[in-house]
Structure 1
């Protein structure tokens, strides 16, 4: 009970919540002996057997290898309501290559066990349906990958992009990370598409996943070679008082940190791994600076940290899910991930609702109509 109420107080203070998920032993680890050195003690504690003795880590919630996708989402689902209410929310998965991040966030290939992302799509539209008598809603999304330190738009087909680049005087589409006056990060130049149902949003998501860079390594049959970044904007208008709120849900499946000797990465895979490790190192520097409350936080050192600037030390309600292997052969990487996650727990965000009054919302609508060349009557203002 003490831990439960402590966690509630920390969340109210703006602390980033951190979940830990221990995946089952896989075939490769079982073939090597499969000695389990990571164990869930209780709902908030993880014990790791190290050569120097047992080491305990505390988190907001711990999920064992037996936990299902549904179990994990039940503790994540309430963040969706905050997006509808006008808050910025970020959920991201962290861990070494092969620790189960993409399974946690995306799910399996045939979607028999969907992850947080597809479940979140359904939850958004379920909440909107429940509130449809009092609010009107508009949902839009962008989907990007950060590959070899370059942001790529996953909602533009590769064929379409290649065709655009062959046209004379047609500049290559460039996606850049910007922040608005409220500190909210957005992707300038990225294709943003509206969705009127969970099915439409999932179709966009499938398109994005099909365009993402993956390849096989010794650690993972389908290793993510890029960071997947999904931004879902939900605008809601209160039919009673006319106020408009805009929430953003950021869903991030980070590529895993890896050592070339373990993954067998060569040639272009080695270049990919170096880029991934460099961006994750920059993320670690940001986490260290924030947890130590240093005056300067090096967000600009990487596109990844720029993307996550409103999620770490920013204005978002943030949940980090650290994924770890239970096996002795991955002990070093597991300890590194758990230490990083412990630092993240110390970071405080200043989450605020993005709400505009009826008058401001009307003025913005008038300005948009004027920009598009439409006539505006005085009664509209």
Structure 2
């Protein structure tokens, strides 16, 4: 970097221009020296020629005088004198040409010198302009540096305010969720579908819609059965979704629970309802193939995974790690859907135990690491391929088992943001669980039309769901003993039902007259869940 006489630094472009001008000046000075040397040589030659001319003139004069005398006496020498006169004339013409050339050279050198001076003035003026621009740019740069320093200070202050507000939001968010209690009940009424009009003696009456969402918190059921008095039944839940509600709108109500998982709380989201009421649609999407669905119809499981990893990306790198386990409860047995038994060509059966601290545990359960949403959905798809399904009169692809997808999130020590500086030394790695449960359909055996092995499956499904209702009844009545172990399902979900987790039950019901019995049973189940005492949830430390 070069500096001008004023002390300002010059840019590389200005330096290059200055060097070009200096080189041009040197070239012009060299030409000027050459021309001056040529002038000196020409002046010397001119002086010599003048001397020679003078000598020639003298000789000519002498010869002329002598020739006059000789002419008088010697006539034949006249031709020689004429030759000499001709040579003198040619020499005189050459001298005149030389003078003319010298004069032209003087004019040319004068013009070149003026042009050189003009170019030099222009270059000097251009250089001065560039120096002024450089000085102005330097002043602007100094101003920009001052602005950058100011912005950096402001950014630091904003970052500190953001960190403080983030901690406040975290506290307020979880205080709000805790005030709502550890058990929340939503209800979703699905729209009337084509299969609602199939195989019915009274098609118009059976497909009639009798279940409605009066508002965001109220369900109305018009009970008008033959032989019974017409009566309207009202059910109240924390949130009620009408048939026109979108998958995205439902997830927006669930989204705050995902934040709670990273804030250190266990969360369980459970879909309950009869076969064909929209449980799997709510949890997975239009089909059970989680890996191929995208867009607006995605269910809670893919949206939850996407939201979870979005929140993780906002945290420091390496702060959280995620593991996935998938089990199904089929005929009151627990099967690991991520472990394939080549001998039986089925998933591997697992046992469930109660650990020393009173928590339910499944030893040897398969856990797979996942670093993004796609990996989670691929694992879910792998598990769904082994899930037991059969056709019934109500649903052509009915799930005959309870599906439990568990995302275990480990928050590593040193990454969490404590409320107080003194809490840093007490930090340790914390594990939280996000359980997503798609329960098998509750149904009347006569309406489902199942027989044989399918009848046995339906019996186990109804018994496990009945055990779930018994657990909720015991919790709502505050009994000293809660029968979690009456079913593998309730034993598996013991930590979520009445435990220290935030539980969300999504009731799924049909709007049609022919499913009124199942709809009332589902709404009754939700009512019992609402009666469970709302105790503060516990944060994992």
Length-normalised TM-score, structure 1: 0.84
| 367, 371, 392: which one aligns with 1:192 | 367
Q: How far apart in 2 are the matches of 1:123 and 1:180?
A: 31
* Aligned with residue 49 of structure 1, among 222, 237, 240: 222
1:170-197 CA-to-partner distances (Å, cap 9, x unmatched) read xx95522234455543322211111111
Which consecutive residues of structure 1, in runs of 5 or more, have no partner in the other structure?
1-7, 166-171, 356-381
- What do residues 112-138 of structure 1 show as CA deviations (whole Å, max 9, x unaligned)? 4221111111111111001125x6111
C-alpha separation in 1, matches of 2:486 and 2:282: 28
Change (3 A) 1:194 1:132: same
Check the 8 A contact 1:184/1:315 in 2, yes or no.
no
The answer as to 2:254 corresponding to 1:71 is no
Q: Equivalent residues in 2 for 1:62-141 (5 A)?
A: 62-109=240-287, 110-112=292-294, 113-132=297-316, 136-141=319-324
**Residues 67/95 of structure 1: CA separation in 2 closer, same or farther (3 Å cut):** same
Residue 399 of structure 2 corresponds to 224
- Alignment RMSD (CA, Å): 2.1
Distance (whole Å) between structure 2 residues aligned to residue 202 and residue 60 of structure 1: 29
Return the structure number with greater relative CO, CA threshold 8 A, min gap 6.
1
Which residue is 1:368 aligned to?
none
Where does residue 374 of structure 1 map in the other structure?
A: none
Q: Matched residue pairs, number?
A: 339
Aligned to 1:353: 539
Higher relative strand content: 1
Query: Could you tell me whether the CA contact under 8 Å between 1:77 and 1:120 is conserved in 2?
Result: yes
| 1: CA distance, partners of 2:180 / 2:247 | 28
Distance 1:158-1:68 versus aligned 2 partners, 3 A rule: farther
* Structure number with bigger Rg: 2
Residue segments in structure 2 that go unaligned for 5+ positions in a row: 1-174, 225-229, 418-423
Paired residue for 1:5? none
CA deviation string 1:126-157 (max 9, x = no partner):
11001125x61111121000111111110012
Instruction: From 327, 330, 348, give the equivalent of 1:147.
Output: 330
Distance in 1 (CA, whole Å) between partners of 2:182 and 2:429 is 27
Report the secondary structure of 2:240's partner residue: strand
Q: 1:281 to 1:214 in 2, by over 3 A?
A: same
Q: Whose helix fraction is larger, Structure 1's or Structure 2's?
A: 2
2:523 corresponding residue in structure 1 = 338
Q: CA deviation at 1:87?
A: 0.8
Q: Partners in 2 of 1:331 and 1:187 — Cα distance? A: 37
Matched, 1:38 2:211: yes
Q: SS state of the match for residue 338, structure 2?
A: coil
SS of the residue aligned with 1:188?
coil
Q: Which residue of structure 2 aligns with residue 251 of structure 1?
A: 436
The separation in 2 between residues aligned to 1:184 and 1:123, in whole angstroms, is 28
Q: Separation in 1 of the partners of 2:365 and 2:351?
A: 8
Q: Could you say which residue in structure 1 is the equivalent of 2:65? A: none
Name the TM-score, length of structure 2 as normaliser: 0.60
Instruction: Provide the C-alpha distance between the structure 2 equivalents of 1:276 and 1:12, rounded to a whole number of angstroms.
Output: 33
Q: Residues 16 and 346 of structure 1 are in contact (CA less than 8 Å); yes or no, is this contact kept in structure 2?
A: no
Helix, strand or coil for the counterpart of 1:233?
A: strand
2:190–2:242 Cα contact (<8 Å) kept: yes
State the Cα deviation string for residues 206-259 of structure 1 (Å, max 9, x = none).
101111011111101210000001111101124363432221001110001122
**Contact residue 177 and residue 186 of structure 1 kept, 8 A:** yes
